Each structure stands twice: as C-alpha cells, then as structure tokens.
Amino acid sequence: MDSCGTQSDAYFGEFYGTSSACPHVAGVVGLLADIRKLSNADIRDALFSTARDIDDGSVGAPVNRKIGYGYLDAEAARNELDIPISVSATGDTTAGGGTVDLSISAVDIDQIIVDGLWTDWTVDSAQSDGSTFTNNTSSHGRSNYSWERAQISVSPSPTVNLPARYIGGIYEVTVTGTGQTGQSVQRQQSRFPDFIEPGLYISGAIESGERCKQLNVRRQVRGPQFVRIRLAPQ
C-alpha cells in the first residue's frame, strides 16, 4: 500500500491500542529470543521487570491489569538478559598413562575449544546438550564443541586418554569459550614454579574489548585460576 499515513489528509495518524502494542511486543520478543536459548518465562520476566510507567494522565489511567500497561523498553530488557560469558574447568588425577576427565562449565557460550592436546592422546565425549563435537586431536591437537546459538549454560566433560609411556610432568592445555557478542573467555597456558606438583594445569582470564580481568573460580575472588589433572610419577 502506497500511503504516507492512516488518514487521507495527513502524513501521519494515530495508531494505538492492542492493535499497535501486540506487533511491537511480538517483535521485541523475537529479538530477545534470538540472543540465546531463552524460555518464554525468561523473556516475559525481562520485559515486565524493565517496563516503564506511563506518566501521562490522558493515556496512563486507568491501569489495565488484564491486557497490560506502560512503556516497553526493548534496550533495558536486552541488557537484563546480557549475561557475561564465562568458562571454568576442573580435572582429575591418574598414574602414568590413564584416563582423566575434564569438567568444563560455561555461560553464554556458542563454542568451546580445547587446544594444546598432544596428538597421540585420544579424546572422547558423549554430550546430550545439542552440541556438535569435532575431534581434531590426532591432526591438530584440538577438539571443540559448537552450538548454532549461544547457550545459557553448558557443562561438557571430555575424557582424555594418555598413553602408558607418559611419565609424571606438567601437561598444559588451553580451554577457550566464545560468545556471539564477540567476547572471548580463555584459559591460557602458563608456566609454574618447580615446587608445584606435576599435572595438567589450566589458568585463565576474561577478555572483553580492551579490558582483561583475571578470575579465580575456585575461590570466587580476583586472581589467577589454577585447576589441574595430575599425572603422578611412575
């Protein structure tokens, strides 16, 4: 329809009521649902908690609690659901040559990469969270989990098998999580003093734009994080 407004003698006209509110609310719901895997209740609660009152006697009263009232604030609702991404990992102990489990927990993530694996290790993973597991350990020393959209919370647990010839020592890997907002969370390789027990260590930092904040998930305070899989000396 080629029209500049809803009235023939004006370039604009009034458009209000549920005929206006419903498509606007539905559009915002669709945008919020595209952020990550959210439930209907999550989106509804975000819209309710961030809506603003209408301070105008001609349109704001009486309050209609059946069909709703107030201003919809799409940006505030988006910020309400903007959860900072995070990733953490814990490990296990095994004698020379054996199986260890990496327990990874991540928030607002669409990909997790486990890098720095030795190419003669084998990595297995049985996940039921809808992720795609790609195992390139033998060729690139890397495996990764990916999802079509960001996940609120995931906890993959890859199993790492080390050959019997391995002796006690420090074997480092990198666990990196990425989100659709462009942020990244990385558990970076680090060197440690000689008195630390042999093991597989993971340390990390959250990187967001130009900011870099160290995390210690174990103690819930700022500072470097160390989690380990120990390979005891034979």
How high is the pLDDT of residue 101?
Answer: 82
**Strand-strand pairing, 93-95 and 227-232:** parallel
Helix (H) or strand (E) holding 74: helix 74-80
pLDDT digits (tens, 9 = 90+) for 57-105: 665 556 666 656 678 888 888 888 777 777 777 766 676 667 888 888 8
Beta bridge partners of 162: 98
Q: Is the pTM of this model over 0.75?
A: no
Per domain, the residue ranges of the chain are 18-80, 86-232
Beta-strand ranges (E) seen in the chain are 86-90, 93-95, 98-101, 103-115, 122-124, 132-136, 142-154, 159-162, 174-178, 184-187, 200-202, 205-208, 211-214, 227-232
Query: In the Cβ-directed half-sphere of 221, how many Cα atoms lie within 13 Å?
Result: 2
Averaged pLDDT score across all residues of the chain:
69
Q: Which fold has domain 86-232?
A: Immunoglobulin-like (2.60.40)
Q: Which two tokens stand for residue 79?
A: 């910020």
pLDDT digits (tens, 9 = 90+) for 195-229: 233 344 333 333 333 333 332 222 222 233 334 44
